[in-house]
Amino acid sequence: MSMGQRTIGEVILEVKNISLRFGGVKALSDISFDVREHEVRAIIGPNGAGKSSMLNCINGVYAPQEGQIRFLGRSFGQMNSRQVAEMGVARTFQNLALFKGMSVLDNIMTGRNLKMRTNLFQQAIRLGAAEREETAHREFVERIIDFLEIQAWRKTPVGRLPYGLQKRVDLGRALAMEPRMLLLDEPMAGMNVEEKQDMSRFILDVNDEFGTTIVLIEHDMGVVMDISDRVVVLDYGRKIGDGTPEQVRANPEVIAAYLGTSH
């Protein structure tokens, strides 16, 4: 994998001894791992391993009963999703959270709202400035559209696009927030081989060109091994492996839990 412009940096996200229960059921048990700036960090494991629960803890959707999460030096147990977004964490969802009747362009513009809302008061006072700002936001969105090679569908309602392209628009909407860290929840789910290859390329390009740190959950082991710098493996809410793709691939516990059943 070409390193391009990126240099893997310091730890920016630290997950420490996270445990999460729903009623009496433990979804996560004492999970710890870290993410370094500019890396592609994968979380893998069979169905029901706790991957989505882990992402929801990082994202501020769930508050774990034990442990803490540090992001950019700040600890949060009880952060809400809005605060997490304002700190520079964006995410895509398994079930597309797109506005089906709205165009590709307008869907990606919704990702800019966070950037625009910060100075609404100022906008109200100086309309000229607001218009200039709107133009700047639009230009940024057009850059994303070019980058993701979806120019041909700029004005098309998202609901009319094939699934693989809808997932690309969802990625664009998250990128429009200019996140420090991007959480991808099964970005390849439901895709055919060609769509998976496209999405893998875009994830690597985002990582390379924008320098975005990427944390992804994925089912497809082959894809994960191809694009990740480091992989953490969950099984029934426990961590059973963590390291480079090579280390994880050779880990007997991972082979038993995961690789043995994936053929």
94 domain-assigned: no
215 domain-assigned: yes
185 domain-assigned: yes
Residues 263 and 249: their CA atoms lie apart, in Å, by 14
Is the pLDDT at 233 greater than 50? The verdict is yes
Which one has a higher pLDDT value, 137 or 51?
51
List, for residues 176-221, the tens digit of each pLDDT value: 999 999 999 999 888 999 999 999 999 999 999 999 999 999 878 7
The average confidence (pLDDT) of the chain is: 86
226 domain-assigned: yes
Domain hosting residue 73, numbered range: 11-88+179-261
Count how many domains the chain has. Answer: 1
121 domain-assigned: no
Residues sharing a CB contact under 8 Å with residue 142, sequence separation 6 or more, in sequence order:
none
pLDDT at res. 1: 35
Q: What is the mean pLDDT of residues 46-70?
A: 89
160 domain-assigned: no
Residues 209 and 211: their CA atoms lie apart, in Å, by 6
Is the pLDDT at 52 greater than 70? The verdict is yes
249 domain-assigned: yes
Q: What is the CATH number of the domain that holds 234?
A: 3.40.50.300
Residue 167 structure tokens: 């997932």
pTM here is 0.87
pLDDT at res. 157: 95
Is the pLDDT at 125 greater than 70? The verdict is no
Residues 229 and 62: their CA atoms lie apart, in Å, by 27
User: Do the Cβ atoms of 195 and 228 come closer than 8 Å?
Assistant: no
102 domain-assigned: no
Give the range among 71-80, 158-167, 199-208 with minimum mean pLDDT: 71-80
Token pair 């999703």 in the structure block, residue: 81
The CA-based dihedral angle spanning residues 15, 18, 22, 26, taken in that order and rounded to the nearest 10 degrees: 120
**Beta 11-22 vs 66-71: how paired, if at all?**
antiparallel
Confidence band, pLDDT 50/70/90 cuts, at residue 95: low
Residues 181 and 115: their CA atoms lie apart, in Å, by 16
